[in-house]
């Protein structure tokens, strides 16, 4: 049974879920909405499994399934086509799998919403999955861009889900606008691609890339990266992600941890040959990724909202992924996408469980001692923290280490900063863990009475994700431990084949001893950060307001204020200036023409005296004029 021919069904199922939940939301019961929403994703997941089963076979070549001609303009042909290969099938599994778990979780988390709004939530969530699937399945940059824009839209819709709150609406707008700034870069890159290659299809661009002048490729890759900084929250377009925590927590888990923000990584991994050919862009990507990772980690150290810490953690981990892409460790970056999807979604869903139990209190200074009251949430959250800190044998260690090894091969400076950031990661994550779950409960007595573990719809996804976060690392066991045991690298090798061949010509692989030493350093650093944070914060949680340098970190290095002063206010003044021009210059001219016509007509109306004699006179004059004209104008 060739399930690859049915690949179009994978995005269409969530789309159908969106239509059903959207159109009939006023007449469906909540449980029915939840079931429709979740079942479509489950069906898509099953189909993705079947496709994956086919793709896994040895010697599988990418299959392009064309649905219809989308744009046909002279020589430029853009078909609506899906490309099924190792990279897209892997992402399909991640998106539908984690998506399904989050849908199940949402049926419990959002149960306080009213019927139509509940259905609206699931409609938007399904629409998001539809666009994300379109993004990863697209066989050309235009279909990818359709999905790219669509997930930005759904992000806006979902962040601003509780639309009656103006602040949430502003956060949604901020996310959408910053995304759009990045999208401009992406769009220009597509134009350059069309100009250079006459096509946007992956199958036509990538083989021709080696014969293209490097400056053009550099321009394309840099512009694509601008798009990625917007979508995947890197410097300078990352400030929307912490504000996006205004949305419901499952939304944060799905969109801002597991899927949408990884769109940039996917896009660069897909275009890996272009990036391998342009070392300049590679350096830019790596440096920005590293800087973002470090910056976000420092900010997370002093945040007191449980979701904000996780948001900055996401930005930081995305920085790691871009570092991996920049140094050419494409498999490492994709590996980290996968493991990050598991443990970050786990952490967010765990945070949601805590927030529910705390009656929507999100400040960790008011929590504490939840270990006793919420055992499953506690255990799964702990597993997530260990995974993100990079402690073996949990998954984060394997993927992060692969990126760090690649970084070291490019430059030891990258490695040192990366390891320092890993120390900070372990520290702030366990600060979060210790302050929330250990010690004594610091909230009101009333809240203490209501603390209890969350229902099965919440804990089931937590358990599944915890198992994945713990075990997914074994999909990518590095060479030093066992020969040819890196399943993921072997699986994805056809996608990165061309890049690997180009990279093999430069730089030498390092010996086993070196690699083990690097691993040892990063594990030691992670353990130090973990133990230090747990011992410090379980005994004395950080309750006072931050002072001095800590205050700078708590205020996010004042980046938002900086953007406000340097970009937002000048634009505001500029638009006020143009508003003045419009009102007094342009409108004056346009209205002036009206006034002129009115004046002219007033004067001409005087001709209409009602005196017949005057009319006859005018008639005679007219005849005379015509006569003279025909006399003097020679034919």
Give the interface with another protein as residue ranges (CB under 8 A): 608-613, 615-617, 620
* Distance of closest approach, residue 606 Cβ to another protein, in angstroms: 10
Between 564 and 609, whose beta carbon lies closer to another protein? Answer: 609
The sign of the dihedral angle between the CA atoms of 361, 364, 370, 371 is positive
Beta bridge mates, 69: 79
Q: At its nearest, how many Å lie between another protein and the CB of residue 590?
A: 32
529 near 430, Cβ under 8 Å?
A: yes
Q: Taking the complex as a whole, how short is the minimal distance between the CB of residue 612 and another protein, in angstroms?
A: 6
87 closest CA partner among 27, 135, 24, 37: 135
Task: Give min distance, CB of 596 to another protein, in A.
Answer: 25
User: Which of 506, 610 has the CB closer to another protein?
Assistant: 610
* Structure tokens that stand for 417 in this block: 């900063």
Can you say whether the dihedral through the CA atoms of 155, 121, 468, 535 is positive or negative? positive
Closer to another protein by CB, 513 or 613: give it. Answer: 613
Buried b / exposed e along 291-300 (16+ C-beta atoms within 10 A): bbbbbbbbbb
Partners of 81 in beta bridges? 66
Contact 104, 90 (CB under 8 A): no
In whole angstroms, the minimum distance from the beta carbon of 594 to another protein comes to 25
Shortest distance in whole angstroms from residue 575 CB to another protein: 50
State the nearest-atom distance from the C-beta of 573 to another protein, in Å. Answer: 55
What is the H or E stretch that residue 12 is in?
helix 9-23
Between residues 547 and 611, which has the closer beta carbon with respect to another protein?
611
Give the C-alpha separation, 62 to 140, whole Å. 13
Q: Nearest distance from residue 617's CB to another protein, in Å?
A: 5
Of 528 and 617, CB closest to another protein: 617
Q: Which is nearer to another protein, 505 or 608 (CB)?
A: 608
For residues 200 and 194, the answer to whether their CB atoms sit within 8 Å is yes
Cβ-based nearer residue to another protein, 597 or 619: 619
Query: Buried b vs exposed e over 499-522: b needs ≥16 C-beta within 10 Å?
Result: bbeebeeeeeeeeeeebeebbebb
CB of 609 to another protein, least distance (A): 6
Helices (H), 327-393: 330-357, 370-373, 375-389
Least distance from another protein to the Cβ atom of residue 610, Å: 3
Q: Which H/E stretch holds residue 70?
A: strand 63-73
Task: State the alpha helices, DSSP H only, in 540-611.
Answer: 549-554, 559-563, 569-581, 587-605
Letter string b/e over residues 241-257, b meaning 16 or more CB atoms within 10 A of that residue's CB: bbbbbbbbbbbbbbbbb
Question: Distance (Å, rounded) from C-alpha 586 to C-alpha 595?
Answer: 14
Min dist CB 595 to another protein, Å, is: 25
Closest to 541 measured CA to CA, from 395, 370, 366: 366
Closest to another protein by CB, 26 or 608: 608
Judge whether 322 and 289 are in contact, CB under 8 Å: yes
- Specify the residue, 74 or 610, whose C-beta has the smaller distance to another protein: 610
The smaller minimum CB distance to another protein, of residues 449 and 602, is found at 602
Least distance to another protein, CB of residue 615, Å: 8
Q: Are strands 76-84 and 63-73 parallel, antiparallel or unpaired?
A: antiparallel
Taking the complex as a whole, the smallest distance from the CB of residue 582 to another protein amounts, in Å, to 41
Closest to another protein by CB, 411 vs 609, is 609
In the complex, least distance from residue 634 CB atom to another protein, rounded to whole angstroms: 24
Nearer to another protein, 558 or 615 (CB): 615
| Cα separation, 31 vs 25, whole angstroms | 12
- Considering the complex, state which of residue 603 and residue 608 has its C-beta at the smaller distance from another protein: 608
Secondary structure of 404-453 as H, E, C letters: HHHHHHHCHHHHHHHHHHHHHHHHHHHHHHHHHHCCCCCCCHHHHHHCCC
Q: What are phi and psi of 523, to 5 degrees?
A: -65, -45
Nearer to another protein, 596 or 619 (CB): 619
* Dist. CA 632–CA 635, nearest whole Å: 9
């Amino acid at each position: 049974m060739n399930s690859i021919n049915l690949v179009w069904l994978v995005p269409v199922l969530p789309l159908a879920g969106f239509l059903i939940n959207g159109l009939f939301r006023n007449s469906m019961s909540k449980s029915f909405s939840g079931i429709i929403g979740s079942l479509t994703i489950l069906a898509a997941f099953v189909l993705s499994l079947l496709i994956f089963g086919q793709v896994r076979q040895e010697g599988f070549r990418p299959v392009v399934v064309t649905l219809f001609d989308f744009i046909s303009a002279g020589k430029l042909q853009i078909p609506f086509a899906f490309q099924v290969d190792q990279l897209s099938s892997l992402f399909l599994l991640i998106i539908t799998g984690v998506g399904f778990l989050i849908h199940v979780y949402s049926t419990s988390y959002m149960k306080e919403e009213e019927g139509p709004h509940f259905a609206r939530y699931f409609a938007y969530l399904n629409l998001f999955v539809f666009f994300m699937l379109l993004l990863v399945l697209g066989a050309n940059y235009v279909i990818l861009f359709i999905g790219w824009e669509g997930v930005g839209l759904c992000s806006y819709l979902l962040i601003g889900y509780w639309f009656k709150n103006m602040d949430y609406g502003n956060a949604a707008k901020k996310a959408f606008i910053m995304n759009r700034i990045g999208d401009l870069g992406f769009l220009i890159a597509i134009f350059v691609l069309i100009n250079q290659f006459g096509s946007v299809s992956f199958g036509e661009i990538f083989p021709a890339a080696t014969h293209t002048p490097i400056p053009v490729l550099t321009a394309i890759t840099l512009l694509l990266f601008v798009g990625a900084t917007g979508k995947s929250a890197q410097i300078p377009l990352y400030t929307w992600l912490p504000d996006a925590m205004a949305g419901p927590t499952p939304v944060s888990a799905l969109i801002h941890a597991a899927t949408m923000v990884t769109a940039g990584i996917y896009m660069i991994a897909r275009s890996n040959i272009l990036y391998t050919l342009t070392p300049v862009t590679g350096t830019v990507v790596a440096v920005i990724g590293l800087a973002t990772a470090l910056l976000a980690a420092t900010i997370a150290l002093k945040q007191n909202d449980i979701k904000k810490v996780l948001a900055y953690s996401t930005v930081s981990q995305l920085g790691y992924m871009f570092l991996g892409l920049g140094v050419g460790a494409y498999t490492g970056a994709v590996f980290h996408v996968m493991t990050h999807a598991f443990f970050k979604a786990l952490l967010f869903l765990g945070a949601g469980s805590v927030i529910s139990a705390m009656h929507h209190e999100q400040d960790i200074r008011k929590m504490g001692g939840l270990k006793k009251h919420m055992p499953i949430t506690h255990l799964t959250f702990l597993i997530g923290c260990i995974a993100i800190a990079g402690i073996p044998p949990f998954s984060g260690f394997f993927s992060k280490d692969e990126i760090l090894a690649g970084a070291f091969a490019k430059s030891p400076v990258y490695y040192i900063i990366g390891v320092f950031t890993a120390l900070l990661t372990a520290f702030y994550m366990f600060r979060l863990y210790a302050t929330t779950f250990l010690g004594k409960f610091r909230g009101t007595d009333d809240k203490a009475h209501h603390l209890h573990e969350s229902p099965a719809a919440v804990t089931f996804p937590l358990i599944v994700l915890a198992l994945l976060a713990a075990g997914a690392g074994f999909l990518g066991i590095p060479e030093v431990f066992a020969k040819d045991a890196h399943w993921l690298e072997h699986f994805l090798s056809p996608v990165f084949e061309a890049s690997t061949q180009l990279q093999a010509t430069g730089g030498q692989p390092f010996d086993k001893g070196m690699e083990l030493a690097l691993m040892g350093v990063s594990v030691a650093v992670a353990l130090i950060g973990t133990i230090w944070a747990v011992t410090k914060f379980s005994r004395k949680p950080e309750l006072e307001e931050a002072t001095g340098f800590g205050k700078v970190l708590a205020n996010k290095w004042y980046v938002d204020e900086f953007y406000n002063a340097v970009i937002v206010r000048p634009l505001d003044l500029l638009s006020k200036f143009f508003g003045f021009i419009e009102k007094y210059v342009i409108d004056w001219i346009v209205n002036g023409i009206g006034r002129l016509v009115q004046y002219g007509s007033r004067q001409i109306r005087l001709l209409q005296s009602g005196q017949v004699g005057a009319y006859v006179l005018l008639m005679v004059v007219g005849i005379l004029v015509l006569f003279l004209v025909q006399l003097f104008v020679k034919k």
